[in-house]
């Protein structure tokens, strides 16, 4: 079993994996003020909550898009297991050929998503990862990551809308009752859900025009709210990133 940790801008996801089977997973809010001691306590608490025997953990791996927390989690994970974790970045074997202007600039989360995609799905394919940002990654038929898009995330856009428009309140994302809203909250909810679904449909169509037919995989906590409203066939895989961490761990162990 391995410990896999992903530091995102909004949440830190912790998973305990036996091969690609996720035995347990949890998430905590990304707090940039926490120290390695705080994270060590949280990891130990998770081991206790999920009844995971620490002696069954052979190692760990870490991905991060929050540089100021990477070292703190690395220290915590090393103290927990008395072994340095693998960290997604230059020098680590991923098996992914990244064909963009600066391969080192590709986010660790997108690397993990693409590695899992290649292992478990057909290519060419598109990965839609809907979190703090919505990212679209394109993997060609030769398993090369050839680029993509970065778009403001659903919650990010909604929070910005509420904070900049005095008469628009903060709302909770819910399944739209109708396409055409009859009140402010329904209009906002319909707009953000159907609007993002339509944007995704349009981008998929344009990518297909450029590279041909593709498989589409969606991941990220917010994707399950949007993809039911897409006109395309999209496979939802919430564990793409954690499984990608497992595959990369195995390539380096």
Among the candidates 87, 116, 147, a domain finishes at 87
Q: Does the CA dihedral 207-221-59-76 come out positive or negative?
A: positive
In the chain, the number of structural domains is: 2
Same domain as 109, residue 226: yes
**pLDDT score at 80:** 97
Residue with tokens 């340095």: 84
**pLDDT score at 157:** 87
Same domain as 193, residue 108: yes
Q: Which 8-state DSSP code applies to residue 239?
A: T
Does residue 157 fall inside a structural domain? yes
Same domain as 57, residue 139: no
CATH of the domain at 178: 3.30.420.40
Does residue 253 fall inside a structural domain? no
Same domain as 73, residue 35: yes
**pLDDT score at 33:** 94
Same domain as 122, residue 21: no
Burial of 31 (0-12, 13-18, 19+ CB in 10 A): exposed
pLDDT (tens digit, 9 = 90+) per residue, 195-223?
999 999 999 999 999 999 999 999 998 99
pLDDT (tens digit, 9 = 90+) per residue, 82-96?
999 999 998 899 999
State the residue range of the domain holding 234.
97-244
Same domain as 225, residue 107: yes
Same domain as 132, residue 226: yes
Same domain as 66, residue 103: no
Same domain as 108, residue 201: yes
Same domain as 83, residue 109: no
Does residue 251 fall inside a structural domain? no
- Give the catalytic positions in this structure: 109
Taking the C-alpha atoms of 109, 92, 101 and 216 in order, what is their torsion angle to the nearest 10 degrees? -40
Q: Which of 246, 22, 244, 42 is nearest to 137 (CA)?
A: 244
Tokens of 60: 């760990």
Same domain as 168, residue 235: yes
**pLDDT score at 208:** 96
**pLDDT score at 167:** 80
The predicted model gives 174-182 an average pLDDT of 90
Is the bond into 124 cis (omega within 30 degrees of 0)? yes
**pLDDT score at 40:** 96
Among the candidates 33, 57, 87, a domain finishes at 87
**pLDDT score at 173:** 83
> Does position 42 have pLDDT exceeding 90, yes or no?
yes
**pLDDT score at 231:** 96
**pLDDT score at 61:** 98
**pLDDT score at 164:** 84
pLDDT (tens digit, 9 = 90+) per residue, 98-114?
999 999 999 999 999 99
- How many degrees, rounded to 5, is the angle at CA 216 between CA 242 and CA 192? 90
Does residue 249 fall inside a structural domain? no
Quote the mean pLDDT of the chain: 94
**pLDDT score at 73:** 97
pLDDT (tens digit, 9 = 90+) per residue, 125-145?
999 999 989 999 999 999 999
């Amino acid at each position: 079993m391995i410990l896999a940790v992903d530091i995102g801008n909004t949440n830190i996801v912790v998973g305990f994996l036996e091969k690609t089977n996720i035995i347990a997973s949890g998430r905590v809010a990304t707090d940039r003020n926490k120290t390695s001691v705080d994270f060590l306590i949280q990891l130990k608490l998770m081991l206790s909550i999920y009844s995971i025997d620490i002696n069954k953990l052979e190692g760990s791996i870490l991905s991060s898009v929050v540089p100021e927390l990477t070292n703190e989690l690395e220290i915590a994970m090393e103290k927990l297991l008395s072994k340095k974790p693998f960290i997604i970045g230059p020098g680590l074997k991923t098996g992914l050929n990244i064909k963009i202007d600066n391969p080192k600039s590709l986010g660790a989360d997108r690397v993990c998503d693409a590695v899992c995609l290649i292992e478990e799905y057909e290519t060419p394919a598109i990965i839609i990862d809907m979190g703090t940002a919505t990212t679209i990654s394109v993997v060609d038929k030769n398993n090369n990551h050839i680029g993509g898009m970065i778009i403001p995330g659903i919650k990010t856009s909604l929070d910005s809308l509420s904070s900049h428009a005095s008469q628009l309140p903060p709302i909770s994302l819910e399944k739209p009752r109708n396409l055409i809203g009859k009140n402010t909250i329904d209009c906002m909810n319909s707009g953000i859900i159907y609007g993002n679904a339509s944007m995704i449909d349009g981008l998929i169509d344009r990518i297909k025009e450029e590279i041909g037919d593709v498989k589409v995989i969606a991941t990220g906590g917010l994707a399950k709210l949007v993809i039911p409203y897409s006109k395309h066939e999209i496979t939802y895989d919430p564990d793409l990133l954690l499984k990608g961490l497992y595959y990369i761990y195995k390539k380096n162990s």
